[in-house]
Amino acid sequence: MTTPTQPTPQPTPPTEPASNTSAPWSRLDSALTGGLALALAALGYLVFAVRSNEADVATARRQLDEARASLKRAESSAGIYGDTSKAALVASEKAVPDTQPYIVVSIAENRLWYKLRDSVLFTTRVATGTGKTLKKPGGKEWKFETPRGRLKVEKKEVEPAWVPPDWHYIEMAKKKKMRIARLEKGQEIKLSDGSVVTMVGNDVVKRLSGGEIVPYAVREGHEIVADGRMVIPPLSSNQRKYTGVLGAFRLYMGDGYGIHGTDVPSSIGTSASHGCVRVRNEDIETLYQIVKIGTPVFIY
Amino acid sequence: MPTRTLAIAVGLALALAGDGWLALRVRSLQAEARQRRTDAFGTATATADAQMAAQRARLQGILDRVRAEAGADRGLHLSVQVDSGTATLERDGLVLHTMDVDLGPESLVGVAPDTQRLATPRGVRTVKSVVAKGQPFELPEWLYRERGISPPTNRKLKGALGLGAAFLEDGTLIYAQPTEGPLADSLYVWPGAVRLSADDLKAVLPNLKPGVKVYLF
């Protein structure tokens, strides 16, 4: 009889296989835990970095805003000044007169320009006042200078007659070493030969002792002389009017001053006049034609 | 997979996702900060430029205003265009006489502590006094020193200012080169002064009476 064979007890599997099953998870766990720790640390760092960078951005934003505000202020102030200067220039343009021609006379250069704005329409040499003085009988004196300032052409004259002022006779008398005798209308100057100098109508005449009347013929340098005295004729007399001395035309500027021609063309370009502006006769003809009454005359 | 492992894995994934998002955020913020700084720098540069432009415009505005005042002045006056070295005698908005001028350099004159800085002014001035042709005039001691000449005991010389001169209220001198004395040098111009040619001075000086305005711009 055979005894059933007892099955051979199987050896208990070592616990090793069980340990082997949980070990990978455990390793994975620890790896994951390590990774998680690192990730959390990184998270902490990054949160800090974000906050720091947010602050940085806020600062940069503020700086940018401030810079923009400064720029705006700077631009607006530049604009203000720009506008001011434009306004000033407009004001300047308004100050320029209309398109009216004008005359400029330089006393120092003895030159005349007829201009329209900056364009010279005509220019020529002139003679202006000498600047010399002559004593008046009363103690004061005449100064023969061309007046500086703004004048204007008040009238245009053809064949102007020169009515010599008193200084002309005083100057001539001084030159010829004579005394002066002033003849008033209705008066007479008795002469040593019995004749008299008097007025008949508008003429200064010499009435001879026999009653004969001889009108005086005068011209510049040949004034009436009576017994060694130079006679100043009345202003209204014909003997107080010299023709041809001022050329064919005159642009009268008032107060006795004018731009006129001359019978002494060699004086042009020098300081030779008694205050008027002398030009050559051909130039006064041109000026007479192109200059209108009312034209401003600037003398400097 | 054990729950614990899963939980850790999920936690890790979330942490990594958070890291990633934060890293991107940091990068974006850095880029924004960099951009804003660049913008701010650019704006600051533009601001500086604008401030300079405003300053230039302000100065130009002042000069334009002086120029405009000169143009609007109907009376006889002298305008000195400092930058172009020209001057004009004007009246009623019209130019009567144009001339080139030499302008004296800016200079510190005198001996410390009694020094004075002279420079051509800008703005509106008036003629204060006129020295006539041949009128004796006492030249300042510093002028001799500047010229390297020992100052004489009597510095009041006849014709020291040549054909004459005009002094503005601030002491600025308008003159022409004389033929004698320390100023008789074409290369030397009185510091801060306006020097005309002899012909121009002859033309202009009789018009520069005290009170006449002089515009410098």
What is the per-residue pLDDT across B47-105, written as a single tens digit (0 to 9) for each? Answer: 888 888 888 888 888 899 999 999 889 999 999 999 999 999 999 889 999 999 999 99
Helix (H, G, I), strand (E, B) or coil at A78: helix
pLDDT at residue number B2: 82
pLDDT at residue number A135: 87
Distance from CA of B101 to the nearest CA of A (A): 18
Which tokens go with B80?
């000195």
Q: How far apart are CA A200 and CA A213, in angstroms?
A: 9
CB of A82 less than 8 A from some CB of B: yes
What is the per-residue pLDDT across B193-212, written as a single tens digit (0 to 9) for each? Answer: 999 999 999 999 999 999 99
pLDDT at residue number A220: 82
In a 13 Å sphere around the CA of B109, the CA atoms on its Cβ side amount to 18
Segment-wise mean pLDDT, segments of 10 residues, chain A, 300 residues: 54 54 81 91 93 91 88 77 55 57 96 93 97 86 94 96 91 92 91 92 92 90 91 93 92 95 95 96 97 96
Report in angstroms the alpha-carbon separations of A202 from A122, A173, A185, A233, A237: 41, 23, 9, 10, 5
In which residue are the tokens 């005509």 written?
A122
CB of A114 less than 8 A from some CB of B: no
Which tokens go with B133?
């042709």
Helix (H, G, I), strand (E, B) or coil at A13: coil
Q: How far apart are CA A284 and CA A281, in angstroms?
A: 5
Report in angstroms the alpha-carbon separations of A235 from A197, A252, B69: 15, 18, 48
Pairing of strands A102-106, A296-299: parallel
Q: For the stretch A72-101, what's the b/e string if a residue is b when 16 or more beta carbons lie within 10 angstroms of its beta carbon?
A: eebbebbeebbebbeebeeebeebeeeeeb
ipTM exceeds 0.85, yes or no: no
CB of A187 less than 8 A from some CB of B: no
A248 and A280 in contact (C-beta within 8 Å)? no
Name residues whose C-beta falls within 8 Å of residue B146's C-beta, 6 or more positions apart in sequence: B107, B109, B191
Q: Which class for A167: exposed (0-12), middle (13-18), buried (19 or more C-beta within 10 A)?
A: middle
CB of B6 less than 8 A from some CB of A: no
CB of B86 less than 8 A from some CB of A: no
Which residues on chain B are in Cβ contact (under 8 Å) with A41? none
pLDDT at residue number A244: 87
pLDDT at residue number A13: 54
- One-character DSSP codes across B179-199: SSSTT--TT---TT-EEE-HH
Phi, psi at A88, each rounded to 5°: -65, -40
Q: How far apart are CA B36 and CA B26, in angstroms?
A: 15
How is chain B split into domains, by residue range? 3-72, 77-216
> Which residue, among A140, A135, A145, A189, has the nearest Cα to A167 in the 3D structure?
A135
Q: How far apart are CA A297 and CA A250, in angstroms?
A: 14
Which tokens go with B196?
């005309």
| Bridge partner residues of A103 (DSSP) | A114, A297
* DSSP H helical ranges for B73-137: none
Say whether A39 and B50 touch across the interface (CB within 8 A).
Answer: no
Distance from CA of A84 to the nearest CA of B (A): 6
pLDDT at residue number B57: 85
| Nearest-by-CA chain A residue for B71 | A92
Residue B214 has pLDDT above 80, yes or no: yes
Q: Report how far Cα A294 is from the mean position of its chain's Cα atoms.
A: 21
Report in angstroms the alpha-carbon separations of B112 from B108, B117, B164: 10, 12, 30
CB of A1 less than 8 A from some CB of B: no
Phi, psi at A279, each rounded to 5°: -130, 170
A47 → closest Cβ in B12, B22, B60: B22
CB of A46 less than 8 A from some CB of B: yes
Say whether B57 and A82 touch across the interface (CB within 8 A).
Answer: yes
pLDDT at residue number B112: 86
| Nearest-by-CA chain A residue for B43 | A67
pLDDT at residue number A6: 57
A64 → closest Cβ in B18, B40, B65: B40
CB of A271 less than 8 A from some CB of B: no
Count of CB atoms situated within 10 Å of the CB of A115: 18
Q: Which of B6, B35, B36 to probe the A interface (max A CBs under 10 A)?
A: B36
* DSSP H helical ranges for chain A: 16-95, 166-175, 281-290
What is the per-residue pLDDT across A67-95, written as a single tens digit (0 to 9) for each? Answer: 888 888 888 876 666 555 555 555 555 43
CB of B123 less than 8 A from some CB of A: no
Distance from CA of A75 to the nearest CA of B (A): 6
B23 and A48 in contact (C-beta within 8 Å)? no
B68 → closest Cβ in A67, A75, A88: A88
pLDDT at residue number A199: 92
pLDDT at residue number B122: 94
A95 → closest Cβ in B47, B93, B206: B93
**Mean pLDDT over the full length of chain B:** 93
Torsion angle defined by CA atoms of residues A69, A74, A80 and A83, in that order, rounded to the nearest 10 degrees: -120
Say whether A109 and B57 touch across the interface (CB within 8 A).
Answer: no
Helix (H, G, I), strand (E, B) or coil at A6: coil
Q: How far apart are CA B39 and CA B35, in angstroms?
A: 6
Classified by CATH at the fold level, domain B77-216 comes out as L,D-transpeptidase catalytic domain-like (2.40.440)
Of chain B, the percentage scoring pLDDT greater than 90 comes to 75
Helix (H, G, I), strand (E, B) or coil at B88: strand
Pairing of strands B114-118, B107-111: antiparallel
- Which amino acid, one-letter code, is at B113? P
| Nearest-by-CA chain A residue for B60 | A85
CB of A30 less than 8 A from some CB of B: no
Which tokens go with A204?
């200064």
Say whether B60 and A85 touch across the interface (CB within 8 A).
Answer: yes
| Nearest-by-CA chain A residue for B198 | A108
